[in-house]
Amino acid sequence: MAAWLPKLVNGDSGSHISYTEKKKDIVEGVRVAMAYEAVRVRTPLVLRILPVASVLVFIAAWQVTVTTGIVPSTMLAAPSTVLRLFIEKLTQADPDGAVLSTHAWTSIKEAGIGYLLALVIGLPLGLLMGWFTTIRGLFRPVFELIRPIPPVAWIPLCIFWFGIGLPGKVFIIWIGSMVPCVINAWVGVKMTNPTLIQMARTYGATDIQIFTKLCIPSALPMVFGALQIALAYAWTNLVAAELLASDTGLGFLITMGRRLGLPEMVVLGMLTVGLLGAVIGVVIDIVEKRLLAGIRR
Please write down the HEC assignment for all residues of the chain.
CCCCHHHHHCCCCCCCCCHHHHHHHHHHHHHHHHHHHHCCCCCCHHHHHHHHHHHHHHHHHHHHHHHCCCCCCCCCCCHHHHHHHHHHHCCCCCCCCCCHHHHHHHHHHHHHHHHHHHHHHHHHHHHHHHHCHHHHHHHHHHHHHHCCCCHHHHHHHHHHHHCCCHHHHHHHHHHHHHHHHHHHHHHHHHCCCHHHHHHHHHCCCCHHHHHHHHHHHHHHHHHHHHHHHHHHHHHHHHHHHHHHCCCCCHHHHHHHHHHHCCHHHHHHHHHHHHHHHHHHHHHHHHHHHHHCHHHHC
Looking at the predicted structure, is the pLDDT value of residue 235 above 90? no
- The answer to whether 44 and 24 have CB atoms below 8 angstroms apart is no
Of the candidates 234, 247, 216, the one whose C-alpha atom is nearest the C-alpha of residue 114 is 234
Looking at the predicted structure, is the pLDDT value of residue 140 above 70? yes
**pLDDT score, position 2:** 43
- Return d(Cα 172, Cα 150) in angstroms, integer: 10
- Return d(Cα 166, Cα 114) in angstroms, integer: 10
**pLDDT score, position 25:** 55
- Return d(Cα 62, Cα 65) in angstroms, integer: 5
Report the pLDDT averaged over residues 140-163: 87
- Return d(Cα 135, Cα 129) in angstroms, integer: 5
- Return d(Cα 169, Cα 119) in angstroms, integer: 16
Average pLDDT, the chain: 81
Q: Which residues, 6 or more positions from 245, have their beta carbon under 8 angstroms from its beta carbon?
A: 155, 158, 159, 164, 168
**pLDDT score, position 294:** 56
95: preceding bond cis by omega (within 30 degrees): yes
- Return d(Cα 12, Cα 244) in angstroms, integer: 76
- The answer to whether 275 and 265 have CB atoms below 8 angstroms apart is no
Looking at the predicted structure, is the pLDDT value of residue 174 above 60? yes
Architecture of domain 78-296: Orthogonal Bundle (1.10)
Please indicate whether residue 3 or residue 108 has the higher confidence score (pLDDT). Answer: 108
Report the pLDDT averaged over residues 223-234: 87
Q: Where are the domains of the chain?
A: 5-38, 45-76, 78-296
Q: How far is CA 111 from the centre of its chain?
A: 13
Q: At residue 154, what is the residue type?
A: W
The pLDDT tens digits of the residues spanning 83-97 come to 999 999 999 888 888
Burial bucket for residue 273 (CB in 10 Å: 0-12, 13-18, 19+): buried
pTM: 0.74
The number of C-alpha atoms within 13 Å of 285 and in the hemisphere containing its C-beta is 7
Lowest mean pLDDT among 24-28, 121-125, 187-191, 222-226: 24-28
The pLDDT tens digits of the residues spanning 16-61 come to 455 555 555 555 554 544 544 445 556 677 777 888 888 899 999 9
Please indicate whether residue 159 or residue 45 has the higher confidence score (pLDDT). Answer: 159
